[in-house]
A = this chain, B = another copy of it.
Amino acid sequence: MEDAVDRNRLPVRRATLEDVAREAGVSLATADRVVNQRDGVRAKTVESVRRAIAKLDYRANPAAARLARGQSFRFAFILPSSTNAFMAGLMQQVRRISDWLEPQNAFIDILQLDVFDPEALASGLAGLAEHFHGVATVALDHPKVRAAIDDLVARGIAVVTLVSDAPTSRRAHYVGIDNPAAGRTSASLMGRFLGGRTGKVGVVLGSMSLRDHVERLYGFQQVLSGEYPGLGLLPALEGRDQSERNEAAAAKLLAEYPDLIGLYNIGAGNEGIVAALEAAGRPLVFIAHELTEATRRGLLSGTVAAVINQDPGHEARSAARLLMAEVTGEPILLDQERIRIEIFLRDNMS
């Protein structure tokens, strides 16, 4: 009853290193050296161990390896000091992931830096090599930041970029969405939702110096002007991701353009825009980023037509898994780590 399975039928047990050693006629230690690609083994011996491995279809038991190595790890997560609803959610998810990390002897520190200031970010990263085995950072594509990342990597620190990439750096992975594609997705939705109508479409973003914002804008423009000639794209307004500024910007657009029929907020601070739209009471297709309290309410009320989202829980878990994989050398399942451009309407808001 305890064990209902007929164990006789089971491929009862995978081959162990000991089986491999016996099969190859060498000791455990030698087999281990081959498995872990350490040198100090004659080529012929390596060959015979390799054959044994292949013959027995040996795969190391990760639990045993971890136990034996008994390493412990320390990771830093670098998040922006100026926070918004999305970043707050991300931080919460990063905190939660330590429940998964700690039992594996891995510990995280969350450091808040001004990630929008290249100097500040670069110098913040600079001191990390002595204290951490891995770093996940909201990055910036800037020479100084790249240099800081490359320096960490050169010192053997595992680095992944989070949400915002430094593509030219030597970071092991970027954990975040494809921003130009997100902009194109938004434009396709906008164009489809406006179904042949003509009028103006406004865009609000945090700043023209934020790479991910500019990339989204680029993708948005590309599709909107290429495929929806009836829609006039207005110059993008910078709201610094601040609710109040965004509210003013939206109000201004509404006032200036009676034929404004679409609005895309590329960055944060959606509360302000929702407020402006609801105050004006004019129907208009508004597309926002990130599923937060404000955008959820907007979806429900109808003020927000669609939300483009990246799942912060997925991002936190993915960053943690990738860092662990880097430092332990364990394999990863790449498609599990691809962060999707999610589209939420009221009905699949989950």
Contacts and interface: CB of A to CB of B under 8 A. Distances in A.
B67 A63 contact: yes
Interface in A155-186: 155-157, 178, 181-182, 184-185
A1 interface: yes
B63 A133 contact: no
A333 to B, nearest CB: 7
A279 interface: no
Interface in A240-293: none
Contacts of A105: 13-14, 61
A348 B343 contact: yes
Interface stretch (A46-54, A96-104, A141-149): A96-104
B130 A4 contact: yes
A195 B283 CA distance: 13
Nearest to A105: B14
B5 A131 contact: yes
Q: Which of A59, A67, A107, A182 has the most CB of B within 10 A?
A: A67
A5 B74 contact: yes
A189 B72 CA distance: 49
Interface string A1-31: 1001110011111100000000000000000
A277 B277 CA distance: 39
Given A59-B103, A63-B66, A130-B4, A342 B345 contact: no
A33 interface: no
Most buried by B among A9, A59, A103: A103
B182 A348 contact: yes
Q: Which of A155, A157, A348 is packed against the most chain B CB atoms within 10 Å? A: A348
Contacts of A132: 5
Given A74-B10, A156-B1, A343-B343, A348 B185 contact: yes
A292 to B, nearest CB: 16
B350 A341 contact: yes
Given A129-B4, A155-B4, A350-B341, A333 B61 contact: no
Interface of A: 1, 4-6, 9-14, 59-64, 66-67, 72, 74, 100, 102-105, 107, 129-133, 155-157, 178, 181-182, 184-185, 187-189, 192-197, 219, 223, 305, 313-314, 317, 333, 335-336, 338, 340-343, 345-348, 350
17 contacts: A1-B156, A4-B129, A4-B155, A4-B156, A6-B131, A14-B102, A61-B67, A61-B103, A61-B104, A63-B63, A192-B305, A192-B345, A195-B196, A223-B347, A313-B335, A317-B333, A342-B343
